[in-house]
Amino acid sequence: MGKGNKAPTAITPTRSEDYPEWYQQVVKASELAENSPVRGCMVIKPWGYVLWENIKHVLDNMFKETGVKNAYFPLFIPKRFLEKEAEHVEGFAKECAVVTHHRLEKGKDGSLVPAGPLEEPLVVRPTSEMIIGESFSRWVSSYRDLPLLINQWANVVRWEMRPRIFLRTSEFLWQEGHTAHATQEEAMERTLQMLDIYERLSESYLAIPIIKGEKSASERFPGAVNTFTLEAMMQDLKALQTGTSHFLGQNFARASEIKYQSAQEKEEYAWTTSWGVSTRLIGSIIMTHGDDNGLVLPPMIASSHVALMPIIKKPDSRGMVMDFTQALARELSEQYYHDRKIGVEIDDRETGGGRGWDWIKKGIPVRVEIGSRDIAENSVFVGRRDRESTKKESIPRDQFIKTIVLTLDEIQKNLFDRALRLRQKNTRQIDSKEDFHAFFTPQDPEKPEIHGGFAYTHWCGNQGCEEKIKTDLGVTIRCIPLNAEEKTGRCIACGDKSTQQVVFAKAY
């Protein structure tokens, strides 16, 4: 544990000492994932994968409630498919992994060498607009076939030069939704509807407050007409994009020949959308809620809810303590926390106080110690992950069982409120260039402390001004907030008149 004048911590370095390294150490200590032998890829361990499964379960239900159906499409995409949409291929070309051979043969030195060149290179799926568009072009012929609402849960590959587990990896898990519609209005409505679903996931389940907005032209998904985004503030005051939804217009329909005969017997191109979130959401949970003792999991999405730790000091008390513990586990796991049963872990390892720290680092919402004295008093000794690790209290057993759902809800709310306070504290309305530069410039460049945040600032809409700010300060337009009140001002870069405010921030 970290030492010094401050209380010891389970994670070193702390967030204030070295935030990027703190993040890596939390991933390791919480047993979420680890680096794989393949550079840029990760192994998601069980505690991390169940977190993804919970996210997947929540989203999948939300999607299906709106009529979306799941399907699966090929991992390999013919290179010519990507070439059909020029802006799209240009946006992804540098990130593509390409398969050029279909077998290996033993060389003269005994090593394996690629053999059997393919007639056409295959791109390992970076995103699926073009391969799904090919299917859509065969599935759609009449207006009666629309809307077509499809989602797939899959992995994708985008070759990453500076990997970081969950945030940027060469291979990651995600869902990608693709829809086709008869009208522009229907397609736009679906685009914004899916953004609302992501907002609900983020705020109600992940306990992460977000700002909902539209991307500037330079930040759009390649080939999209409009890209809408959710932006969240991490504890180092940088922004993280937690979901996007794209209105593709008819660009991809024209490229893939997705056409239908209208009710007026006229051939029309469909209007399409795509939308997705990925395992990057796990990174957002770590960086929004984690502390200097490790991971902190929001109960609504937690890998499990309660850790029971029987304390057996004498061999002859083992049976009594374990019977009490197992009975408590049964009663807890019979209850539902919202739409899933309460997850209970029994940890009977003989590791003394180390067990408690293990569960603190793994972020489980509630820890319970059970010893002979507690059993004699028909009580349990409880710690909560939204409170200091040393703050524990004795609670009557029946009361603990009766109030566990309320306790989890309280933890969920506390995590959201804490994240919202951080964002509010570090969001500024900035109208002068000098204040803008000061806000995003560390006081000591040699020791760049955590600084900055979200700046609501006027921008004239000129891409040159956007690029200059990015070059000078490493700051980007995170979004143009939706439904923002129109307010006249001056562009922070050039001083020209502006009627829109955008959110600037440093970002992942």
353 pLDDT above the threshold of 80: no
Provide the pLDDT for residue 4: 47
More confident residue, 424 or 1: 424
Tell me what pLDDT residue 87 has. Answer: 83
Q: Cβ distance 365 to 384 under 8 Å?
A: yes
pLDDT confidence tier of residue 1, bands split at 50, 70 and 90: very low
CA atoms within 13 A on the CB side of 176: 20
| Cβ–Cβ < 8 Å for 128, 152 | yes
State how far the Cα of 35 lies from the Cα of 68, in Å rounded to an integer. 34
Euclidean distance between CA atoms 61 and 192, whole angstroms: 18
Say yes or no to pLDDT of 47 above 60.
yes
Q: What is the mean pLDDT of residues 65-88?
A: 94
Which residue reads 């059997």 in tokens?
A: 116
Q: Measuring CA to CA, which residue among 236, 340, 219, 251 is closest to residue 284? A: 236
Confidence bin at 352 (pLDDT 50/70/90)? low
Residue 443 confidence (pLDDT)? 83
Distance CA 76, CA 99 (A): 8
Q: Calculate mean pLDDT across residues 51-64.
A: 98
Distance separating alpha carbons of residues 491 and 31, to the nearest angstrom: 46
The pLDDT of residue 88? 84
- CA separation for the pair 64, 194 (Å, rounded): 12
* pLDDT one-digit tens code per residue, 124-166: 999 999 999 999 999 999 999 999 999 999 999 999 989 999 9
pLDDT at 350 over 90: no
Token pair listed for 102: 């279909």
Q: What letter would DSSP give residue 181? A: E
Delineate the domains of the chain, giving CATH numbers in brackets.
19-70+126-289 (3.30.930.10), 306-423 (3.40.50.800), 427-505 (3.30.110.30)
Strand stretches in 374-475, DSSP E: 379-384, 392-396, 427-429, 454-458
Which residue matches tokens 């040393």? Answer: 390
Cα gap 159→168, rounded to integer Å: 9
Confidence (pLDDT) at 5: 53
**243-262: b or e for each residue (b if 16 or more CB lie within 10 Å)?**
bbbbbbbbbbbebbebbbee
Tell me the pTM: 0.95
- Cα dihedral 222→227→232→233 (10° resolution): 60
* pLDDT score for 6: 65
What is the tens place of the pLDDT at every residue in 287-300? 999 999 999 999 99
What are the pLDDT digits (tens) for 13-28? 999 999 999 999 999 9
Q: What does the alpha-carbon distance between residue 127 and residue 274 come to, in Å, rounded to a whole number?
A: 10
Alpha-carbon distances, residue 135 vs 79, 255, 257, 272, 364 (angstroms): 16, 13, 10, 13, 43
Q: How confident is the model at residue 261 (pLDDT cuts 50, 70, 90)?
A: very high
Within 8 A by CB and 6+ apart from 168, the residues are 160, 162, 508
Report the 10 Å Cβ neighbour count for 25. Answer: 18
